[in-house]
Chain A
């Protein structure tokens, strides 16, 4: 097993308390940053590390930090996006509930680098128990002098608040999150202006994923250059993957980026293969909004190379034969999975979670769901298969925020790679609607 930077001490008894965390090398990064480094040096270190955003988009974190507008006399904010609600992704919940102080330490270092005096953790409303863990940990950090006025005598002061959302997926979009944090309805904002210029309370703001912020801690401890040596190419460091679905050993795995997908699924060190001795059928590699790939394409790229767990390798071949690393929600499906039903299920989720602000997404997600419902329940026609692709195309790229794309990509990809299965549902509605019936390959159609 490769190196673990984030979850090294996760199984230590009492690691969620300040005392034990400190004993295992906790808050070293904050001490190092506040005592020996200027804020710009911290930003440079993160830039050198090549850390890419762990929330899904994969934008380089250091670059994002350097874009922050810094007008004189105006407060700036660092906001942690802990509104993890993507189906299939549960890595942040794990990280926060097991290692709350790691996030807090990252928040202090990040806030120091950005010059923020008040920072927020916006946590998903359903994770009430994690909220309590974080609040307890924050109280401990205040008591130990790592938060509040004049931290470690450095003259730098920081207040950290946790704010729960109310259960809307859309509030994970950074501008909707800021609206929600301001106490408004969580509708995504029009961009520009971007949060780096006008974010929370119209002040310059950086919004980062939990894992991105937590990764700042090992980057400062090890040094950016050392961190960049891990991984492959532009995918540096380690990343948490939440493996779920039909696997022998689903769970959270911290991988050095670059592990082959085949090894990740089948090696006993990781997921241990597909459960009940069945065959792998398809994989959604980065949370429900990234394109689904069939077994042949997830294990090997179209060019026949081994696919690796990196940003570049997973997106090799674009959307024609590739997918995205996304947020690391790795959903494996065995041969008994009905792709049509699964696509309808994802579509139902996005229909339910569309905020309703812009017309392509508001109307299109509902339309997709209805047509897919029809196909799944044996009332569809061949024309409907083309219709969902066309509707998905009308949504994609024409919306205010990425939820439109998140709703459109899985549908388009499912039809692209599993069209025969959709056609089987149309041609054999009676068989397809039997409980447990699954398309068994070309033989049935013939």
Chain B
């Protein structure tokens, strides 16, 4: 076990834990933002530089500070390490710079982007950026590309976090998804005309932090903050998929199906394309209850309410859902459409 001090808070974590995960153990406002790191994807992280922190003391043995800011998502903790995140002005300034860099080639047209409302970059820029840009030149743009029947790629919005590349690489057989080109001309490629057609390709939509990879069955059907997320499950015949999903309702219609994400936007259980794209009737699913949405998220503004369910289902609810319900007082008994 290693004991570290993060923003003045002491926390003890197993050896080999990264600084970011140690901070997540503390939770709350001290957690550094992460645009490319994704816990379930091996090798991810270190690219966006949004999570840079200052290491004021390397370890108990060698208490010298590290010369440069380090990416907290890939740097393992050492016993006695002292890390500064929100307490260091240098870190906050650099983070402002990172927001600026990420946004210079990213279109600032959130109102017409399908990801708005659940966009990591939007949240990141809102929390850490400045409201003006110093960039006057033309932005790089690309044509939209259809990759497979369900997914659309719009490279113009891509911040090259490589998450989808790792997903395609690690989740599916046969790599058809990589990065072509170099520097600011690099783009997500699908090897000439080879489209991604396998059972788990839809997961690249969930891992994308921005609106670069979108669900063609959902695109522009509904703003995400008008929909109400519900946790649900079904018996899925696919061996690798256990059918635990979130349904996004508008009225009585299931607008889309996504995997369940935790508070850091990370998918814990991958779902197959059948669950995601083909099962869009309430009858296909066993509803568990409202999915927890952070109060700070724009999605929570719809004030969705607890559906009327029979007591047996409440008894079967997973413990985490019950805890969520208790922690979120705005939930009260009412109809599905509240």
Chain A residues 153 to 174 lying within 8 A of chain B, measured CB to CB, are 168, 170
- Which residues from chain B sit less than 8 Å from chain A, CB to CB? 45-50, 52, 68-69, 71, 74-76, 94, 97-98, 100-102, 104-105, 134-135, 137, 159-160, 162, 178-179, 181-186
Judge whether B185 and A398 touch: CB under 8 Å: no
Which chain B residue lies CB-closest to A399? B49
Contact of A359 among B45, B137, B160 (CB under 8 A): B160
Residues of A within 8 Å of B76, CB to CB, are 192
Residues of chain B lying within 8 A (CB to CB) of residue A387: 134
Question: Contact check: which of A170, A355, A366, A398 meets B49 at CB < 8 Å?
Answer: A398
* A interface residues, Cβ below 8 angstroms from B: 168, 170, 185, 190, 192, 351-360, 362-367, 370-371, 387, 390, 394, 397-400
- Our count of residue pairs bridging A and B at CB distance below 8 angstroms stands at 91
Q: B46 and A400: CB pair below 8 A?
A: yes
Report B-chain residues with C-beta under 8 Å of the C-beta of A398. 49, 52, 68-69, 94, 97-98
Contact between A397 and B68, CB atoms less than 8 A apart: yes
Complex-state Cα separation, A351 to B184, whole angstroms = 8
* A356 and B182 in contact, given A190-B74, A367-B137, A398-B52 (Cβ under 8 angstroms): yes
Tell me the smallest distance from the CB of A198 to a CB of chain B, in Å: 13
Contact indicator A357/B47 (Cβ below 8 Å): yes
Known interface pairs A362-B160, A370-B137, A394-B100; A356-B49 also in contact (CB < 8 Å): no
B184 touches A354 (CB 8 A): yes
CB distance from B296 to the nearest CB of A (A): 24
| Bound complex: CA A366 to CA B198 (Å) | 36
Q: Which residues of A contact B186 (CB under 8 A)?
A: 355-356, 362
Q: Are B49 and A359 in contact (CB under 8 A)?
A: yes
Contact among A352, A370, A397 with B69 in the assembled complex (CB-CB below 8 Å): A397
CB distance from A184 to the nearest CB of B (A): 10
Say whether A358 contacts B48, CB under 8 Å. yes
Residue in B50, B100, B101, B160 with the greatest tally of chain A CB atoms within 10 Å: B101
Q: Contacts A356-B160, A370-B137, A398-B52 given: A363-B71 contact, CB under 8 Å?
A: no
Contact (Cβ within 8 A) A355 B182: yes
Q: Contact: A356 with B101, CB < 8 Å?
A: no
Measured between alpha carbons, how far is A370 from B135 in the docked complex, in Å? 10
- Residues of chain A contacted by B52 (CB below 8 angstroms): 398
When C-beta atoms are compared, the residue in chain B nearest to A370 turns out to be: B137
Chain A contacts for B160, CB-based, 8 A: 356-357, 359, 362
Q: What residues on A are CB-neighbors of B97 within 8 Å?
A: 360, 394, 398
Does B94 lie within 8 Å of A362, measured CB to CB?
A: no
Taken together as a complex, chains A and B put the C-alpha atoms of A170 and B47 apart, in Å, by 16
CB of B182 within 8 A of CB of A190, answer no
Residues from chain A with a CB closer than 8 A to the CB of B50 are 359
29 A-B pairs (CB sep. < 8 Å)? A192-B76, A351-B183, A352-B183, A354-B182, A354-B183, A355-B186, A356-B181, A356-B184, A357-B47, A358-B48, A359-B49, A359-B50, A359-B98, A359-B101, A359-B159, A360-B49, A360-B97, A360-B98, A362-B184, A362-B186, A363-B101, A363-B102, A364-B101, A367-B104, A367-B137, A371-B137, A394-B94, A398-B49, A398-B68
In the complex, chain A residues whose CB is within 8 Å of the CB of B69? 397-398
Chain A nearest Cβ from B117, distance in angstroms: 23
Q: Which residues of B contact A355 (CB under 8 A)?
A: 182-183, 186
Query: Do residues A359 and B182 form an inter-chain contact, with CB atoms below 8 A?
Result: no
CB of A366 within 8 A of CB of B183, answer: yes
Q: Report the minimum CB–CB distance from B90 to chain A (whole Å).
A: 10
Nearest CB of chain B from residue A426's CB, rounded to whole Å? 15
Residues of A within 8 A of B162 (CB): 357
